[in-house]
Structure 1
């Protein structure tokens, strides 16, 4: 008789695995913009540069046990580290619940992992590395050949709609305001989102990111007192919109077309 692993155990294992990968994503987020190796040296404290022992590098748990401080220099550890680990684990568990252990699960988790890394790099640096977004466009189109969600033609249309539409918006904003609005990195990111989600995903992502980005932008302008010159990275909002589409987008469009028909 075959031994069946309880679903709750499977989900827990997937969550833990996602958290472990999230620990690696923190390394990428910290080192990639600084052009440092993401492989060597091992994890170290950003303050005292002391190597972090394996028992102090357990995702989520070590942060709680150390009370958010380095064991050696007592410097405060950014809450970003456990947050990225938790979000990676949560995304893995939710996608596993949606797709099971399947090729679609692996493709979607790879996509959301890219979005997670890009969002936090953009928050830190106001930059979206080409080394993540451009290969993401190619891989997203390649994945569409095996995806159960979109056809390769929708992926190709999503690339051109996402990248092309935002390029026109960026050019128009610069012409009217005589300053940069959308960065080139945002345009490439939306092209990558179109490659993975197709043109409906681009439309949904623009809607959600514009709504949430405007709300946060108004709050940031009010708090800074700098008005329209306030800088707000848009990559995190694009990433949020794309993740929301994965979980709610198809249901939203079914409701939308059903309501208006």
Structure 2
């Protein structure tokens, strides 16, 4: 079908991405709250404290319907139309007129565009399905890390294991390359973390960054790791420098590195070969 009408298949993937992006917004907002509630419960058990029955549990990711975070009014189907619902409401809640975060349409639009790009790149088949899963997980991880500076194991570990399992086919990287890539991905940032901590006494990044780079190594092999690190550092420097220049981010305020790793990993996943070939031609190495 893709050979006959690639634009139709790409458009369908884009619409699917919009729908999935709406769900990813729920994951980005609710998963950290569920994690925090679980940590508090575990802490009370360890400290042998009485359970706090007055604190309601945060809403679940799947079962609880969408609602306004301010007035708690349940949203209608019209309000929940990805991207267009936000536009129709002019960015405000229909019931309390409170401004709705721009995050909702941005995540939906980004997921739609990235999903369309994956299908355009790989066509219809297993690589595209795996690529969509890869893309959606990275969007969720980047969104959560941007908001909370957390990269949940609930997402990084499945991404890592899926990359290793796909290497058995192999789909993107062979088994040996995937295992070595996962190990080097983890140990490289782990080493940087401890070196920075020994020299400065501060933590420069979190353990979630190690696990995310390990997952990218499992999907693409060890040769992708150095370009991903360099590209993520470049993106981080540009974004961080821009925010500081605009005085929207203090120099001493920590900035999550996970979104930049995710962005660089996705770019290399879909265009790494082309970027490498362009670089080699530009430098005269080929």
Q: For residue 202 of structure 1, report the CA deviation from its aligned partner.
A: 1.4
1:163 paired residue among 186, 197, 200: 186
Partner of 1:260: 285
2:33 and 2:249 map into 1 onto residues whose CA distance is 31
For structure 1, which runs of at least 5 residues remain unmatched after alignment?
none
Alignment check: 8 A CA contact 2:6 2:120 kept: no
The more displaced of 164-173 and 145-154 is: 145-154
Partner of 1:18: 17
The more displaced of 168-177 and 246-255 is: 246-255
Partner of 1:153: 176
2:195 paired residue among 172, 178, 196: 172
Q: For residue 260 of structure 1, report the CA deviation from its aligned partner.
A: 1.9
RMSD over aligned CA atoms reads: 1.9
Partner of 1:251: 274
Partner of 2:41: none
1:61 aligned onto 2:84: yes
1:20 and 1:213 map into 2 onto residues whose CA distance is 29
Partner of 2:227: 204
Q: 1:214 to 1:8 in 2, by over 3 A?
A: closer
Pairs within 5 Å for 1:56-205: 56-205=79-228
- Aligned residues, how many? 258
Q: For residue 213 of structure 1, report the CA deviation from its aligned partner.
A: 1.1
Scaled by the length of structure 2, what TM-score is found?
0.85
Partner of 1:31: 30
2:73 and 2:238 map into 1 onto residues whose CA distance is 41
Q: For residue 220 of structure 1, report the CA deviation from its aligned partner.
A: 4.1
Scaled by the length of structure 1, what TM-score is found?
0.93
Q: For residue 204 of structure 1, report the CA deviation from its aligned partner.
A: 1.5
